[in-house]
Chain A
Amino acid sequence: MPDAKGRRIALGCEGSANKLGIGIIAHDPITGEALVLSNVRDTFVSPPGTGFLPKDTARHHRAYFVRVAKKALALSGVSISEIDCICYTKGPGMGGPLTSVAVGARTLALLWGKELVGVNHCVGHIEMGRAITGASNPVVLYVSGGNTQVIAYAEQRYRIFGETLDIAVGNCLDRFARTLEISNDPAPGYNIEQLAKQGGRVLLDLPYAVKGMDCSFSGILGRADDLAAQMKAGEPGPDGEPFTPADLCFSLQETVFAMLVEITERAMAHVGSNQVLIVGGVGCNERLQEMMGAMAAERGGSVYATDERFCIDNGIMIAHAGLLAYETGFRTPLDESTCTQRFRTDEVFVKWRD
Chain B
Amino acid sequence: MATDDNFPCSLTLRVPFPDARLASVALQALRVDKELSGLVKRELSTVASPGSEHAGETVLQVDYKATTNRMLRVAVNSFMDSLALVLEVQEEMDVDVIESEKASI
Chain A interface residues toward B at CB < 8 A: 58-59, 62, 65-66, 69-70, 73, 79-80, 99-100, 102-104, 106-108, 110-112, 334-335, 337-339
Contact = CB atoms under 8 A, between A and B. Distances in A.
Contacts of A104: 85, 89
Interface stretch (B5-13, B26-34, B43-51, B55-63): B26-34
A316 to B, nearest CB: 19
A70 B85 contact: no
A70 B92 contact: yes
A108 B89 contact: yes
A112 B32 CA distance: 18
Contacts of A62: 81-82, 84-85
B98 A103 contact: no
A66 B33 contact: no
Given A62-B84, A107-B86, A334 B93 contact: no
B2 interface: no
B88 interface: yes
A contact patch SS: helix
A276 B30 CA distance: 42
Given A102-B32, A103-B29, A107-B26, 12 more contacts: A59-B81, A62-B84, A65-B88, A66-B93, A102-B33, A103-B82, A106-B28, A110-B28, A111-B95, A112-B95, A338-B33, A339-B33
A2 B41 CA distance: 42
B75 to A, nearest CB: 14
A85 to B, nearest CB: 16
A108 B29 CA distance: 9
18 contacts: A62-B82, A62-B85, A66-B89, A70-B98, A73-B93, A80-B98, A100-B82, A100-B85, A102-B32, A103-B29, A104-B89, A106-B29, A107-B90, A110-B29, A111-B90, A111-B94, A111-B95, A112-B95
